Chain A
Amino acid sequence: MIILHTNFGDIKIELDAEKAPKTAANFEQYVSSGFYDGVIFHRVINGFMLQGGGFEPGMTQKDTNANIENEADNGLSNLTGTLAMARTMDPHSASAQFFINVNDNTFLDHSAKTTEGWGYAVFGKVVEGMDVVNQIKTVATTSRAGHQDVPVDDVVITSAEIVD
């Protein structure tokens, strides 16, 4: 179990190490190394998802570890409350940024092993603190430093920890 302590409250996450072993291990690695301490949810779109894990307040991007293999073909679906990895157009380009689905975004699921169809790898779900997620999804957003949908007031992961 992972707890993301945020300035809106705690979000408890259960990783699916069975179906997404590489992605779950990667996420745990970022948590235990303290990478997520002090990073923000920098892209919040109500009705879609909350994306975070890559920027510090002020939209400073953090250097990440190497990209990981995309495990989106594991049968898990981008349903409300699940966590999946964000990436670039390249399917196998996820590193630290992740997102929490706040809608059943099944169009993000794996459909084919192509650039268009690869989808976004789900690796866990929120088991406690959806009220916190639902509060965050309604924050006011703006454009900042060339990014859209950035919360006006920082939504910060103050710390993240692995618990039993």
Chain B
Amino acid sequence: MSILFISDLHLQASRPDITRAFVLFLQQRANRADALYILGDFFEAWVGDDYRDDLTDEITSALQELAAKGVPIYIQHGNRDFLLGSQFCAISRATLLPEHAVISPYGYPLLLMHGDTLCTRDSDYLAFRQLVRAPQWQTAFLAKPLSDRLEIARQLRQQSRADAANKDNSIMDVTDSEVSTQLTHYAVPLLIHGHTHRPALHLEQTADHQPALRAVLGDWDQQGWYLELSMQSLQLVPFSIPAPDFVHAEQADSVLRASTLFCRSAH
């Protein structure tokens, strides 16, 4: 038995391949899990739970189907979908987690974060974040007509892309000291986060020099990623997201035939 962690799917209408891969992931892989954790940027954008389209309907019903099989689903906000609210979660039968969530599966304490706040060198983004996470801003935004909200979201994404192109690569990664601070503050030997799109397992240290592990989830594009935690191991698993390929003959019973890149004991 195991628990699965994913993040940064950036689900959007223009990537039907990723949507399809996610639905298959739920039906073929997550259906056998003890729980599924989605650590943010599940959607490319979220303008309020009152917005619905074919994509949100498909995802909602896929999550409902998983929940009906008895697999608990937990969602954390990302920097793209921070407005994902209680209504969406209730309909999808998922539980919304706080931005720092400590859980203890199999008696093993670990901290879950999206990861954007670990990138402390990105001061422009952190200032923006402070603005849009303020309850006043959110209340005002959600009170706007849907068409206005969609337009604002479009502009923000455009801005974010332009900003990212101009930022030094290192700014976009986590700051070691902040990782250490969080591990120490929450007193956990394992931190799992996404956001940076740099999937890997890193050895870290707490402030008092205790060893700790940081698992970074990968974004879904031509490849998808999930982290699997069991009693014995922690594995970061990539799998191919099928474009119009015909590799399926060899993939036999699963498009998620995964090769394990990293396999390291969590202890």
Contact = CB atoms under 8 A, between A and B. Distances in A.
Interface of A: 43, 45, 47-49, 51, 54, 61, 84, 86-89, 97, 99, 103-108, 116, 120, 146-149
A51 to B, nearest CB: 5
16 contacts: A45-B16, A45-B20, A51-B246, A54-B246, A84-B244, A86-B244, A88-B247, A89-B247, A97-B244, A105-B17, A106-B14, A107-B15, A107-B17, A116-B222, A120-B244, A146-B251
Nearest to B251: A146
B244 A49 contact: yes
Interface in B194-230: 222
Which of B20, B240, B248 gathers most chain A CB within 10 Å?
Answer: B248
A148 B244 contact: no
Contacts of B13: 47
Contacts of A97: 244, 246
A88 B252 contact: no
B253 interface: yes
Contacts of B251: 146
Nearest to A146: B252
B244 A146 contact: no
Interface string B1-35: 00000000000011111011000100000000000
B249 interface: yes
A104 B246 contact: no
B245 interface: yes
A86 B246 CA distance: 7
A147 B248 contact: yes
A54 B246 CA distance: 9
